[in-house]
Amino acid sequence: MLLSLYRLAWKLGSPLVDIYMWNRRRKGREDMLRFDERLGVPSLPRPNSKLVWIHAASVGESVSVLPLIEELLNGNAWIHVLVTTGTVTSAQLMADRLPRRALHQYVPIDKKQYVDEFIEYWQPDLAIWVESEFWPNLLISTRESGCPIILLNGRVSDESFEKWGKYKNFARKIINCFDLVLPQSREDEKKLRALGARNIKFIGNIKYGANPLPFDQTRMAELQKMVGNRMVWLAASTHPGEEEKILEAHMRIKEKNYAVLTIIVPRAPWRGQQIRTLLGNNVNVALRSNSEPILEDTDIYVADTMGELGIFYRIAPIVFIGGSLIERGGHNPIEPAHLDAAIICGNNMQNFAEIVEEFEKAGAIQMVEDENELAFRVFELWQNPQKRTAMARLASKLVRSRQEILHNIIDEIEKFI
């Protein structure tokens, strides 16, 4: 009943959807050259081999499965991998980092007509859903095609769990599309069981299997020369409403150390100019997208480019995890842990709760309440290099101890290939 209503809503609401998607294209949120892919129209030929389809919503999910893709392709020469995502930034990232025999398409909008055309053309032999983007038409049409589906690193937020709980039969129909459910945490395992998941196995969070982020040696050397011996720290993957707090922390540190340089890498690179305007005229801001240099009087360097976070994690010995001083749920602390960084986060890390708990127990992360405590912790770690180094080593050790998770997940996936 609810599925029929959902499909009817899509049919009746098509004009509104068209307006919404047009507005996204106008703002650069959609790929103008490849927009037909969002309508189920392919832009690449289907490989003449077995095809494993991996759907990852955006940047974080797609990056987390890159090591998995490499291992699957290395161990199974007769397969290709199709990766679908829904954002322009993730598509750009995949274009740079997908290995040979892996290709990318935009995921179709969840209208049944578009979804059916997508499934009919690509005819995947195995589908792998990453984390939590449960599009009903896409999942059910894939299931009805006879393709087995795995939920990888399954996650259900408290808000989503509450919403799904109001429609238990519909939720069960969606969750039962999965032949195997691999939750990312014990808490997610409980939620997925409550929603009706079958054949559920907890192995661990696949993000522990990530490789260190890549970097360009020449660009890094250029930046390191500009930074020199200044005190430098990084606020990674920040969101609207958070940069003002980073500025306040910067100003408090600057009172103690005039030479401090704060690097901000926004989660959405297109926000660079917006952030500059937001920070105002009281600080000197340089934008990387404009090729503006870091000068002696530069206060804040906004790294509003794609695919360079690996450089900034290596340059900055102290890293703050964005999305955690506001109600966003935080981002992945494993990435900087690979790269000898002392890690700080706010107390809104719900998306990585169990990982942060493990980091805290290991002494590998510091949590702060607000921008004032953030400034205090950053300056304290800069003044105490021994403590900073110890934190970084503990984080790196913890991540290395979880490397087997990736191989155990691959063992489960290969049973379906």
CA angle 160, 241, 288 (to 5 degrees): 115
How would you list the strands of the sheet with 261-266, edge to edge? 285-287, 300-302, 261-266, 232-238, 318-321, 342-346, 365-368
- The answer to whether residue 61 is catalytic is yes
Three-class SS state of 127 = strand
CA atoms within 13 A on the CB side of 89: 18
Q: Please tell me the distance from the alpha carbon of residue 302 to that of residue 339, in angstroms, as a whole number.
A: 20
Task: Report DSSP state, residue 331.
Answer: -
Considering the candidates 30, 37, 61, 358, report the single residue annotated as catalytic. Answer: 61
Number of neighbouring beta carbons within 10 Å of residue 84? 24
Contact between residue 102 and residue 80 where contact means Cβ atoms under 8 Å apart: yes
| Region label for 14, one of left (φ > 0), alpha (ψ between -120 and 50) or beta (otherwise) | alpha
Residue with tokens 């799904």: 164
Active site residues: 61
